[in-house]
Amino acid sequence: MLSLFDRFDVLALPTAQVWPFPVEWRWPKEIAGRAMDTYHRWMEVVAIATFAGLPCISVPVGFNAAGLPMGMQLIGRPRGEMKLLRLARAYEGVAADVLGVRPAE
């Protein structure tokens, strides 16, 4: 993971591997044809920063055509919390038009 920061200032990944699913499901059993054998498998993408000990912040990015929300996680260098917070604040400033959109009720 750390070698990625030789090329990139920050990593940007989705906050989930799947759009929100029905509340009746315990978890999605399959994503893109791949079986999710445990509860945690469907949300592996959010474990990367935690396991690597890297700072991470999530910001909203909008909604799909069905009105379901999605976010983006920004992952920074070790001990890079302040830079990451500044980046998230700057993102929210320039993405205000996207972030102001609300799904239809």
pTM for this prediction:
0.85
Instruction: Determine the residue type at 6.
Output: D
**Which range (19-23, 90-94, 97-101) has the least confidence?**
97-101
- Residue-wise pLDDT tens digits, 40-77: 888 888 898 999 999 999 999 988 888 889 999 999 99
User: Taking Cα atoms as reference points, which of 44, 35, 39 lies closest to residue 16?
Assistant: 44
Share above pLDDT 70 across residues of the chain, in percent, rounded to a whole number: 98
Average pLDDT, the chain: 91
- Domain residue ranges of the chain, discontinuous segments joined by +: 2-99
CA 15 to chain centre: 2
